[in-house]
Amino acid sequence: MTPSGSSLLTHLFLQLPLTFSLLHPPPAHVPTLVPHAPTPLARSRFSAYAQLDFTTHCNASCFHRGEQEEQLMEKLAFETLYADGSRTLTTVDVEDDAESGGAHPSPWRVKPRRVRRQIYGADGRFNIQGDNFLLDYPFSTAVRISTGCTGVLVSQRHVLTAAHCVHDGKDYVNGARRLRVGFLIPPSINGTKTHFTSAKKPLVHWVRVRRTRVPKGWIQGPQEVSMEFDYALLELRWPHRRPFMRLSVAPSSDDLAGHRIHFSGFDSDRPGQLVYRFCPVEEESNDLIYQHCDARPGASGSGVYGRVWDNNLERWERKVIGIFSGHQWLEIDGENRDYNVAVRITPLKFAQICYWVHGNRLDCVQD
- The whole-number pLDDT of residue 119 equals 57
- What is the fold of 30-92+124-190+197-362? Thrombin, subunit H (2.40.10)
Sign of CA dihedral 46, 233, 90, 343: negative
What predicted TM-score, i.e. pTM, was given to this entire model? 0.84
Closest CA to 76 of 212, 219, 183: 219
Q: For 311-334, what is each residue's pLDDT tens digit?
A: 888 899 999 999 999 999 888 778
pLDDT band per the 50, 70, 90 thresholds, residue 224:
low
Fill in the amino acid letter for 140.
S
305-320 as b/e: b if 16+ CB within 10 A = bbbbbbeeeeebbbbb
Q: Which of 21-30, 55-64, 239-248 has the lowest mean pLDDT?
A: 21-30
Is 128 in contact with 280 (CB distance < 8 Å)? Answer: no
Binned at pLDDT 50, 70 and 90, residue 126 comes out as low
CA neighbor of 101 nearest in space, from 30, 176, 44, 32: 30
Q: Convert the pLDDT of each residue in 341-355 to its tens digit.
A: 999 999 999 999 999
